[in-house]
Amino acid sequence: MSVKDLLHQGFMAAVDAAKAECLIPHLRALPTIAGRTAVLVVGKAASAQAPIAEACLPDAEGLCVIPNGHQVRTGWRVIRASHPVPDAGSQEAAEAAIDLAERLGPSDRLVCLISGGGSALMSAPLPGMPFDLKLQVHRALLASGASISELNTVRKQLSLVKGGRLAQATKAQIVNFLVSDIPGDHVEFIASGPTVPAHTNQADAIAVLERHQIDLRERLKPWLDDLRYATPSPSDPCFARVQTKIVAAPSQSLLAAQAVFQAGGMDCWILGDAIEGDSETVARVMAETALWQRRHGRLSRPLCLLSGGETTVKVTGDGVGGPNAHFALTLLHALNGEPGISAIVCDTDGVDGAAEIAGAYVDSGTLSRAEQAGLSCKEALLRQDAHGFFRALGQSVIPGPTGTNVNDFRAIVIEP
């Protein structure tokens, strides 16, 4: 098997390890209760999770919130919404979730299947806040290069459902089954934690806005300076009714990929599943690591450097890209055609940024093929047009929506 094929196989193994089927034993193990069971399925994994949940819990009422363009086979109510920027469907979904939660009593159970993307897909502003203002904050943060944790620190404080507010809205017992796309698997940042306590507050949100120079502080003052709009305290009694389990996480996916590379005759080092930072900075560090191993590592067989987490890009160019493709483009530039190094860099949900492209594949011949095609790697970096660059070379990775989301997947293979 070629290195290219093995890299693609490793990526798909990482995706498969986080797919919806991992829910089945957890759902089947739920105890029988006297009251009703309702199910909220929201996030990028929702379209794959809903049919499985409905089959395991056939008597439950269900609400399924999925990204526009996803297809789902379920008899439950389905709401489609936009990602990464919320839309009217996102507001409808948030209000429907609150309504579902409020209709449940102490003898009932709310099962929440939550995955990454839920922050945008289920989004409604606090009372009195214009929806357009919330959208402005969202767009500004996405363009600023803020990390996912910073982004969700702000979103929790401005939301009708996030930061534990959905848990506060119900009297039911809550069981959370989460797919983590958050470095470190901090549950309060997965879809901005609608049913778990927030350990960040209004002051933290203000600090993020100031750090990234988001010039909306004065307009947000009525909500960020008023304790009546703060998220519930972690000591709020509502959280005593909540049980939470992570059913899929980046670490599991990286271990699945590691097994593929080792079976393919490679050594494989997992560098971490929570690596964050600017895409260009992290990519150049990874490139230097790969170059050192290639030139001085005394390798007896191929070595794969595997990592996960989430990198970000501060948008300054006019091209089309995403953090994973931009990482791959920076890696390509830094490696400068060094023989014997190949890589795949993808988002496990199949969508890198706003494009239906997971990421890209690069090898030692990519630069020369680009030059023959009249493409400049440096110019594409400056314009932040990674998707355009790799699409023209046929080196984009396009699996389509994968039905899960455990964030970035990066594999760099160094041959002796």
Joined together, the tokens standing for residue 374 give 């009249």
**Residue 184: its pLDDT value, please?**
87
Task: Count CB neighbours of 365 within 10 A.
Answer: 11
Q: Report the alpha-carbon distance of residue 233 to residue 70 in Å, rounded.
A: 35
**Residue 94: its pLDDT value, please?**
98
C-beta of residue 42 within 8 angstroms of C-beta of residue 92: no
What domains are there in the chain, each with its CATH number?
A: 3-12+251-414 (3.40.1480.10), 19-248 (3.40.50.10180)
Question: Which residue from 186, 194, 121, 177 is spatially nearest to 148, judged by alpha carbons?
Answer: 186
**Residue 373: its pLDDT value, please?**
97
pTM of the model: 0.90
Joined together, the tokens standing for residue 232 give 């519930």
Peptide linkage before 84 cis (omega within 30 of 0): yes
**Residue 60: its pLDDT value, please?**
98
Residue-wise pLDDT for 54-90, tens only, equals 999 999 999 999 999 999 999 999 999 999 899 999 9
C-beta of residue 388 within 8 angstroms of C-beta of residue 317: no
Q: Report the alpha-carbon distance of residue 241 to residue 172 in Å, rounded.
A: 7
3-class SS at 212?
coil
Question: Which residue from 264, 338, 353 is spatially nearest to 301, judged by alpha carbons?
Answer: 264
**Residue 287: its pLDDT value, please?**
98
pLDDT < 50: residue spans in the chain: none
Q: Report the alpha-carbon distance of residue 338 to residue 315 in Å, rounded.
A: 29
**Residue 359: its pLDDT value, please?**
97
**Residue 354: its pLDDT value, please?**
74
